[in-house]
A and B are shown apart, each in its own frame.
Chain A
Amino acid sequence: MVQKDPEYLKKAISVDVHTGKATFTIFPGLCKGCGLCREKCPERALDWSHKLGVYGTPTVSPNPELCKACRICEQVCPDCAITIRRKDKEEE
C-alpha cells in the first residue's frame, strides 16, 4: 500500500451517547453531508453540525440524550464516516 496515514484519520469527533454506554464518532474527512443517516435514525437523534466535512458541507452530530447506539446510521453511511462503539460489547 502506498499511503500510511490517510487524511481522514487525523480528525475524529467523539460524543458519549446512550447514557455513556456508547460512543458516537464522526470522521469529518469521510463525511460528504448526504444526510442519508439523518433520515434513517429511528430516534431522530442526528442533527447537522457546524463541523464541516470533506466537501465543506455540514457533518452530523448526535443528540446524546436521544441516541440509543443502534448503529443504523453507521450501517447506512455509504462512506463509513460514522463509528458507533458500544462499551458493553467490545468489538475487535
Chain B
Amino acid sequence: METKEILPKMPKSWNPASKPHKFCPGCGHGLVLKALGQVIDELNIQDRVVFGCDIGCSLLSWDFFNVDTVQTHHGRTTPVMVGIKRANPDLITIAYMGDGGGYAIGSQHLVNAANRNDIITAILVNNTVYAMTGGQMAPTTMPGQKTETTPYGRDIKEAGYPMLGPEMVAAIAHEGAYVARGSIAKFRQLKTFIKKAIENQMAGRGFSFIEALSTCPTNWRTNAEKTWDFVENIMPKYFPIGEYKVPGGKEE
C-alpha cells in the first residue's frame, strides 16, 4: 500500500495546520480559496499578499492561508484593503467577501473603490443567500428562489431585483479595471480570472473584481447532485459567466 509518501495536494500557500477547513461539506468557498491558493503559488507572491475576509462564511478563512490576514467588519473588507494598499503599495491586497457583505451593507465601498479605480483585488462569493446567518434572502437571491425569508420564492414586485455585480462594476469602472464573473463549476476558468485580476493589481492598472458563483448545500438544502445542478445550470441563467471588462478591452 505505501510507496513514496503521498500527501494531500493543497496549495503551498494554504495553512496546513488549519485543515480540514471550517466550511461545510460541499461548500464552494473551499474551491474559490483553492483556486486563489494555486494562483498565489503560481505567481510566487505568498510573502506579499494581504488577505482580508469579511463577516459571513468568508470569515471562516481567517486562518486559511499562510499569508498576513485581517478579518474585518461586515461589508468593510474593501475599504480596509484599500487602506492597506495605499499605506504600502508593494503589498498585494485581496478583499474576500460574500454577496451580502459586498452587495448589501458594503455596496457603497464596492462602488467607490471601483469608481476611484483603487489598485486592489476584490473576490466576491455569490451563493445567493446570507449563508452564515441561516440562509435569508440576499441581494443575489434570484427571482422565484426560495430562501428562509422568501418561503414562496423571491417576488420581484415586493423584494425588487437581484444585484448584477460585475455588470454594475464594469459599467462604472475606468480604463485599467478588470471585471469578471466565474464559477466554481468551471474551476480552471475561475482560476484564470483570479490570476488575471491579481496580475492586474500587480501591474498597477486598476480595480480588479471577480464574482464567483458558489455553492451552499447547507442553506440550499441540496444533495450533491442538486448542488451541482443549481450552480452549474440554474445560477448562470441569471448570472452570466465571463469577462466584463479587461484593460485594452478584449473580453472573453
Binding site for B on A (CB under 8 A): 1-3, 6, 8-9, 12, 14, 23, 25, 27, 29-30, 32-36, 38-40, 54-55, 57, 74-76, 78-81, 83, 85
Contact = CB atoms under 8 A, between A and B. Distances in A.
Nearest to B7: A83
B21 interface: yes
Interface of B: 1-3, 6-10, 14-17, 19-21, 23-31, 34, 66, 187, 217, 223-225, 227-228
A38 B2 CA distance: 25
A6 B16 contact: yes
Chain B contact residues, majority secondary structure: loop
Contact of B228 (A27, A33, A36): A36
A9 B10 CA distance: 12
Contacts of A27: 8
A17 B48 CA distance: 40
A32 B228 contact: no
Contacts of B14: 80
The 5 closest A-B pairs by CB, nearest first: A78-B30, A35-B224, A34-B26, A32-B25, A34-B25
| Max chain A C-beta neighbours (<10 A), residue from B24, B26, B66, B227 | B26
B34 A80 contact: yes
Nearest to A87: B3
11 contacts: A1-B15, A8-B8, A12-B6, A32-B24, A32-B25, A38-B224, A78-B23, A78-B34, A80-B9, A80-B34, A83-B7
A77 B217 CA distance: 14
Contact of B8 (A2, A75, A81): A81
A1 B12 CA distance: 13
B66 A6 contact: no
B8 A3 contact: no
A39 B7 contact: no
A79 B31 CA distance: 8
A50 to B, nearest CB: 17
Nearest to B31: A78
Contacts of B8: 8-9, 27, 30, 80-81, 83
